[in-house]
Structure 1
Amino acid sequence: MSILIRDGRRLSPLRAALALLLVGALAAGGFLAHQTWSSERAVASTKPWFAGYVDVTATPAFAFEQPQTDAGRDVVLSFIVSDGECRPTWGGYFSMDEAAAKLDLDRRIARLKQQEGEIAISFGGLNNDELATTCSDENALARAYSDVLARYGVTTIDFDVEADDLADTAAGERRAKVIAELQRERRDSDGDLAVWLTLPAATFGLTEEGTTAVAQMLDAGVDLAGVNIMTMNFGDSREKRETMGEAAVRSLQATHRQLTALYQLADQELSAQTLWRKLGATPMIGQNDIPTEALSLDDATELNEFATGQGIGRMSMWSLNRDAECGPNYVDVTRVSDACSGVPQDGESFADTLANGFDGRLALAAGHVTKQEPRDPADFVDDPETSPYPIWSEDASYLKGTKIVWHRNVYEAKWWTSGELPDSPVLNEWETPWTLIGPVLENERPVPVPTLPPGTYPDWDGLDTYDKGDRVLFEGSPYQAKWWNQGESPEASHSDPDGSPWTALDIEDVQEELEAATDAAG
């Protein structure tokens, strides 16, 4: 066999073989390079990222196009809002064309991208109407969103839905339906569209309106990149002496539990770690809108350490405009400023503090697609030989403080309960009598049930009568009579604590009483 080359000459069989080997090597190299790039991109798409919000229309203008540190490379420009109908505006002040002319916004975005920065666009905010609120025509709403995406070339969008907008469920359904279709169209044409919901939260997590907004997105088929909670303005849900950092951590923990329930209710199986990746946090740096709340740099560090430890997917802040210490002419620092934080910073920045460990990038993360993570049914099987506490039973009753095992996790009863699943997907903590303590650990064995030595008290006898205050042992555990009774087993006190004449005593308390009595007698 010989191979013709362009001038009509032929290669010898040896040279032909070498040529084929070379072509094959180049092809394999190209394939491997593609595979390596794809693998690297897949890993990069799951890396948590930081991007601070920039209030585009605030004065004085913030020069986001000139980032001073890596923490300022990626920004979330806010807010695109309705003009009262179906046209997008910046803050209700400028159309997109007007923003280009009067704020030089398009050029500034281009300048940021020249420096390898990226932008996301945030729709909504507290003070104006998000487009879906005023635009009831779904086709017009889709055009409005598409115009923004096309104008600024963004692959990550953020919906900051608050107050009346959040309460408007009809608008929420429109928003979810239209965004689901836009996301499908993007992905069908090999494009990216990451969708974040930014919602107010208390230390107990999302409000009922917030969980409804998430459910609407999931029901419509939106692949949510995540839920970004505003860890700010906690009000009465924040405990006395609780730092803003501690309150933010509690809020994230509660929202993670809610997201677990929301995805279960949507029939989507995701791991606990994936659900942490679908969480974001946005503190208001420095002085918050509530005068008694101010997030310090120490609070920011505390929040960052928890967030990186758990692996949340996003960190933002409100706002980059405010990331500077107020000057001496700004006297009342409890009054929120658009241009300074209101707290001492000593030359440090909130952006650098909060961004620490968030090494991902907006553009890469936008390509991540959520995939189901079904658990092996064997993971739900509880073995009495390796469970530290009794396995939950639908027919049993449990007193406050009782610990049980269910689906390889340990739960503790918050009050008397019977027949209520420990892992039932509820959206609020007060809806379940169970608190999740943590997983069953490797090599655990049943915790021995403490008992008192025989003879400590008389063994209960169904034929005997007992007066109020009498004590007995039943299967080694101590009980005390609440009133005269005969033939009523102490065992019933667990299933009917109010109706039973017996109350279970704490063994440690009884032992302390007996030791004290022995010491007094001695």
Structure 2
Amino acid sequence: MNSRVSYVSPPAPGPHDGKRLSPWRVLAGLAIVALVVAGGVVGYRFFATGQARAEDPAPWFAGYVDVTATPAYDFETPRQEETGNVVLSFVVAAAPDDCVPSWGAAYSPDAAADDLDLDRRIARLRQRGGDVIVSFGGAANTELASACTDVDALRQAYAGVVDRYAVASIDLDVENDDLTDRVAGLRRALAVAALQKEREESGQPLAVWLTLPVAETGLTDDGRAAVAQMLDAGVDLAGVNAMTMDYGTDLGGRSMAVISENALTAVHDQLVDAYAHADTPIADATAWAKVGATPMIGQNDVAQEVFGLDDARQLNAFALAQHLGRVSMWSLNRDRTCGENYADVRLVSDACSGVDQGDTTFAATLGAGFTASVEPASTAPTPLPPAPTDDPSRSPYPVWASGSTYLAGTKVVWHGTVYRAKWWTRGAEPDDPTVAASDSPWTIVGPVLAGETPLPQPTLPASLLPTWNGTDVYTGGACVELDGSAYQARWWTQGDSPAAASIDPGTSPWMPLTPDRVIGGQAGC
């Protein structure tokens, strides 16, 4: 799923054309037998897959969040009830031939923890009662199944991500070349089946959603093949999430909501057919519970396709009436009106929708009436947490001290939580309950995680910058050092000590700099 990629899908085949996929069923069976003989862990749960349950899972809403997009979207602090659950995207291969998970081919999981505070932000969201699904794939980069040439290596790659983020649900967004590659599709199906079986045996079941592009007539040939491969391998699909966007067809004056309803109805019928072909028939209501919808809000990649708030209201009503299993949207990063400086809203932005939303959000509109969590609710009582104590030896950042000065971007630990300074501050307690969040100089990043130890704090190397001299003239942009701290001149100055910047930063000609900005060259010194 990518706001810059258009999906022009061919018409889906008729309801009885699935038998053309039988060679892949044969291939799947042979591959499974080979794995079992070799000591593989795949269990062929053919007859158990997709059976109608006495009670289908409660439907849920969760918007996608592009983890690596800038500006970053602070999913850890939900703005409204409907944004409490999120689908984090996208985990892909680090390189086209590298079977190593990454976020957007830009951050390893460890790098995402360090540079994006991702692990801590997920923990913060969970503190607030929300949860996450991890989405693998997307339109850009390479899905792991295409990069990994070995089924078990692929299973381990998926499992590493599932275990790291402790998720009970995953989303497989398969598009473009990753979708047309049937061999990679078989690897994906076998690896997911093995992982699902492994998790089930350990008492930690894993829900699997398959996200696929659609035409108005439903899934494409490749999409139907992907579903069949999953069912033949024994994957218990939670459902198929249809990307109701970028149709690339003449709308004929009809709304995007109408086209989407037609596509979703077709997907429902195709799922009934797919499960019947797999000899595991499901009821009509169960088929609807296995259908998901994900529109691209606002301006789509196809110029004439705009999904407005009226479309969102209509699709929400349809989803509730038909009891769809899930509704999502691409993306929460875009859920706002573009600013006045954004000249042409027909150009798709990662940071705004391209339509005038006023005070209304697509998340609240599409998510209205969906109250379930993305994961099963626990009936066990939640114990009160122990009183937090800040141990410097177990804190990733220095423990806040009332007499210390903190520059913008500085991170501290206070009462078991990591905070980041929004601007220069001294003496302001990070968790002061009497100060509104907008007025506090601190913003919550998330809790201190188990097993953390102090991170190396950069210090200014000796002689890196010239020492301030009261008789020298400094122009804007000049950098100096004084008593181990770095400063940058904001305008012409002579005789003004940089030390005064800590007392009255608003009027001082000097701006304090953190050592990492100087060392990394960000200050322009």
Per the normalisation by structure 2, the TM-score is 0.61
Query: What's the counterpart of residue 293 of structure 2?
Result: 281
CA distance in 2: counterparts of 1:254 and 1:163, whole angstroms: 21
1:299 aligns with 2:311: yes
Decide which of 62, 68, 88 is 1:51's aligned counterpart. 62
- Which amino acid in 1 is paired with 2:237? L
1:158 aligns with 2:171: yes
Structure 1 ranges of 4+ moved more than 6 A = 42-45
Contact 1:52/1:318 (<8 A) preserved: yes
Query: What's the counterpart of residue 100 of structure 1?
Result: 113
Contact 1:56/1:62 (<8 A) preserved: yes
- Which amino acid in 1 is paired with 2:59? P
- Which amino acid in 1 is paired with 2:363? A
- Which amino acid in 2 is paired with 1:190? G
CA distance in 1: counterparts of 2:226 and 2:362, whole angstroms: 30
Question: SS where residue 211 of structure 2 aligns?
Answer: strand
- Which amino acid in 2 is paired with 1:90? W
Contact 1:49/1:362 (<8 A) preserved: yes
Share of identical aligned residues, percent?
55
Contact 2:293/2:326 (<8 A) preserved: yes
Query: What's the counterpart of residue 405 of structure 1?
Result: none
Query: What's the counterpart of residue 317 of structure 1?
Result: 329
Structure 1 residue runs of 5 or longer lacking an equivalent are: 1-41, 368-522
- CA offsets, 1:81-130, max 9 Å, x none? 00121100000000000000001111101100100110000000001111
CA distance in 2: counterparts of 1:121 and 1:45, whole angstroms: 22
- Which amino acid in 2 is paired with 1:163? N
**CA drift at 1:188:** 1.2
Question: SS where residue 229 of structure 1 aligns?
Answer: strand
1:182 aligns with 2:195: yes
- CA offsets, 1:439-483, max 9 Å, x none? xxxxxxxxxxxxxxxxxxxxxxxxxxxxxxxxxxxxxxxxxxxxx
Question: SS where residue 376 of structure 2 aligns?
Answer: helix
Decide which of 47, 67, 71 is 2:82's aligned counterpart. 71
CA distance in 2: counterparts of 1:122 and 1:65, whole angstroms: 17
User: Aligned pair in 2 of structure 1 residues 214, 365: CA closer, same or farther (>3 Å)?
Assistant: farther
Query: What's the counterpart of residue 242 of structure 2?
Result: 229
1:215 aligns with 2:223: no
Please give the residue correspondences for 1:240-255 in structure 2 after superposition, counting only pairs within 5 Å.
Answer: 240-255=252-267
Decide which of 130, 133, 141 is 2:154's aligned counterpart. 141
**CA drift at 1:244:** 0.4
CA distance in 2: counterparts of 1:154 and 1:307, whole angstroms: 25
Query: What's the counterpart of residue 410 of structure 1?
Result: none
Query: What's the counterpart of residue 338 of structure 2?
Result: 326
User: Aligned pair in 2 of structure 1 residues 247, 57: CA closer, same or farther (>3 Å)?
Assistant: same
CA distance in 2: counterparts of 1:285 and 1:346, whole angstroms: 14
Contact 1:45/1:365 (<8 A) preserved: no
Query: What's the counterpart of residue 258 of structure 1?
Result: 270
CA distance in 2: counterparts of 1:228 and 1:334, whole angstroms: 26
- Which amino acid in 2 is paired with 1:174? R
**CA drift at 1:137:** 1.3
- For the aligned residue pairs, the C-alpha RMSD in angstroms reads 1.6
Greater share of residues in helix? 1
CA distance in 1: counterparts of 2:128 and 2:69, whole angstroms: 23
1:363 aligns with 2:375: yes
- CA offsets, 1:128-179, max 9 Å, x none? 1110001011221111111101110001000000000000000000000011
Decide which of 209, 219, 222 is 1:196's aligned counterpart. 209
CA distance in 2: counterparts of 1:219 and 1:139, whole angstroms: 18
CA distance in 1: counterparts of 2:205 and 2:377, whole angstroms: 9
CA distance in 2: counterparts of 1:329 and 1:175, whole angstroms: 44
Question: SS where residue 336 of structure 2 aligns?
Answer: coil
Question: SS where residue 258 of structure 1 aligns?
Answer: helix
| Number of matched pairs | 325
- Which amino acid in 2 is paired with 1:151? R
Question: SS where residue 294 of structure 2 aligns?
Answer: strand
User: Aligned pair in 2 of structure 1 residues 93, 366: CA closer, same or farther (>3 Å)?
Assistant: farther
Contact 1:279/1:313 (<8 A) preserved: yes
Query: What's the counterpart of residue 345 of structure 1?
Result: 357
- Which amino acid in 1 is paired with 2:316? N
CA distance in 2: counterparts of 1:97 and 1:252, whole angstroms: 38
CA distance in 1: counterparts of 2:326 and 2:83, whole angstroms: 14
1:91 aligns with 2:104: yes
- Which amino acid in 1 is paired with 2:172? F
Question: SS where residue 262 of structure 1 aligns?
Answer: helix
User: Aligned pair in 2 of structure 1 residues 141, 365: CA closer, same or farther (>3 Å)?
Assistant: farther
- Which amino acid in 2 is paired with 1:148? V
**CA drift at 1:45:** 6.6
**CA drift at 1:239:** 3.2
**CA drift at 1:44:** 8.8
CA distance in 2: counterparts of 1:72 and 1:355, whole angstroms: 8
Contact 2:139/2:174 (<8 A) preserved: yes
Decide which of 75, 78, 81 is 2:92's aligned counterpart. 81
Question: SS where residue 99 of structure 2 aligns?
Answer: coil
**CA drift at 1:46:** 1.6
Per the normalisation by structure 1, the TM-score is 0.61
**CA drift at 1:366:** 11
- Which amino acid in 1 is paired with 2:257? G
Decide which of 129, 140, 143 is 1:116's aligned counterpart. 129
- Which amino acid in 2 is paired with 1:51? A
Decide which of 166, 172, 182 is 1:169's aligned counterpart. 182
Contact 1:45/1:366 (<8 A) preserved: no
**CA drift at 1:364:** 1.1
Question: SS where residue 122 of structure 1 aligns?
Answer: strand
- CA offsets, 1:479-519, max 9 Å, x none? xxxxxxxxxxxxxxxxxxxxxxxxxxxxxxxxxxxxxxxxx
Structure 2 residue runs of 5 or longer lacking an equivalent are: 1-52, 380-525
